[in-house]
Amino acid sequence: MPLIASMMYILMPQMIDLFNNSLTQLSNLSIHKPMTTSNPYVNTLIEMGYDKQDCEVASTMFQKRSFPCVIHGRQFDTEEQYFAELHEYMNGM
């Protein structure tokens, strides 16, 4: 019995080092790292189950546009023309 106890006492630091190295290697694997972005709101949406690409597409929908511009094949020369047609579309729904 003393032989087993002395062997455990000698091998314990090596076993702990091996365990810590395995944990470090596991944490460095990319599949175990959460998807990170620079936008905390996008991170929250991703945690809720939304796709990162959907968040990026939706975020560009409300950006300020420069005119003239083409949206889904329709030409808008001025911002006033855009809002007039948007107003007309929304009232027709």
Q: Residue ranges per domain, the chain?
A: 1-33
Task: Please return the burial class of 21, using the count of CB atoms within 10 Å of its CB with bins 0-12, 13-18 and 19+.
Answer: exposed
pLDDT score, position 26: 65
pTM of the model: 0.36
Contact 67, 78 (CB under 8 A): yes
* pLDDT over 90 at 16, yes or no: no
